Structure 1
Amino acid sequence: MRKIKFRAWDKATKNGWIPKPIKQMIYFNVYCPPEYLGVTYDEEGTWKRRFEIMQYTGLKDQVGEAIYEGDILYRTVIISLIGSDMPKRTVGEYLEVVFRDDYAGFFIGETPLHGYVGATVDIHTKCKCTDVEVIGNIYENPELLEDNT
């Protein structure tokens, strides 16, 4: 059976944890008024969430750490051209885990997440690569993805 877990990012305190009302809502299906979940309204009447909820993907990285939606993964790819005198080159990649509603699954770009986890060969280039490792998330370490674009 698939284990369903969540974690939350508190935008106000900039802290990753699961507050008690969210735990109650998730684990016990208890109705929580929006203000308990940190929902506020701006001047136009549009609501804003205080917490970002991230779901566990069901997969773990190379060191056994759980991979959640919003995590940033790192791996290296060893690029070599067969029949060329060019030396091998190692390139580091930062990958963002997202949930895609159109496919109802966890993806990195257009590729399902499971194509990256546990892989020793890149599914696109067929070059050797290392397994992925969680090195942060989009809330604590957004600069990792900014440098990668």
Structure 2
Amino acid sequence: MDMKTTKVRVWDKEQKKFLEIGSEEEQVTPQYSSKDGLFFTLNGYVDENGYAYEIDAKIVQQTGLKDKDDTDIYEGDIFEENYFDNEHEGQVIKRYEVIFNNGAFMAKPIGVKSSKFPLYLVFMFANKERSNDMKVLGNVFENPELLEN
């Protein structure tokens, strides 16, 4: 049986950067307590009480897709999709934010107030060929300006 490894990134809200999971200094270690659930501590640092320094983190998961440049696509990423549309008679470029909602990764259109789609476009993970038209531009954490229309 072929088990796929789930990839995650950890966004440190205080330092405003992604940190790697590992045992080296400046990396983070996942911890779990029955009271608090999952949290991360920053290696090489302690708080004022001498305990491992807990960071305020956002964990984002890899979707299982790669864009046309072979870049992993994660929750929170912003990508562009180019396609030909007969309705618009030509090439169309649209921008989306990758979100995780109701147990599925979805592509939320950026700058669309109303849409013919009821909520969000459900990510087409079964059809990996669609990702050949996607290009990751950045993410909502490091590049919030990409959310502007």
TM-score range normalised by the length of the shorter chain: 0.5 to 0.7
* CA-CA distance at 1:138 after TM superposition: 0.5
SS in 2 for 1:119: helix
Residue 119 of structure 1 pairs with residue 125 of structure 2: no
RMSD: 3.0
Q: What is the count of residue pairs matched by the alignment?
A: 117
Query: Which segments of 5 or more consecutive residues in structure 2 lack a partner in the other structure?
Result: 34-38, 42-46, 48-52, 109-119
Query: Which segments of 5 or more consecutive residues in structure 1 lack a partner in the other structure?
Result: 39-49, 121-129
* CA-CA distance at 1:23 after TM superposition: 4.6
The structure richer in strand per residue is 2
Residue pair 1:106, 1:113 contacting (<8 A) in 2 also: yes
Residue pair 2:40, 2:57 contacting (<8 A) in 1 also: no
Aligned to 1:14, which of 13, 16, 29?
A: 16
* CA-CA distance at 1:33 after TM superposition: 7.8
Runs of 4+ in 1 over 4 A off after TM superposition: 19-23, 29-35
For 2:40 and 2:71, how far apart are their aligned partners in 1? 33
Q: Could you tell me the TM-score, scaled by structure 1's length? A: 0.63
Residue pair 1:118, 1:132 contacting (<8 A) in 2 also: no
SS in 2 for 1:13: coil
Aligned to 2:29, which of 10, 15, 24?
A: 24
SS in 2 for 1:62: coil
Q: CA 1:14–1:72 in structure 2 vs 1: closer, same or farther (change >3 Å)?
A: same
Residue pair 1:74, 1:94 contacting (<8 A) in 2 also: yes
Q: CA 1:17–1:75 in structure 2 vs 1: closer, same or farther (change >3 Å)?
A: same
For 2:61 and 2:40, how far apart are their aligned partners in 1? 21
Q: Residue 29 of structure 2 aligns to which amino acid in structure 1? A: Q
Q: Could you tell me the TM-score, scaled by structure 2's length? A: 0.63
* CA-CA distance at 1:16 after TM superposition: 1.7
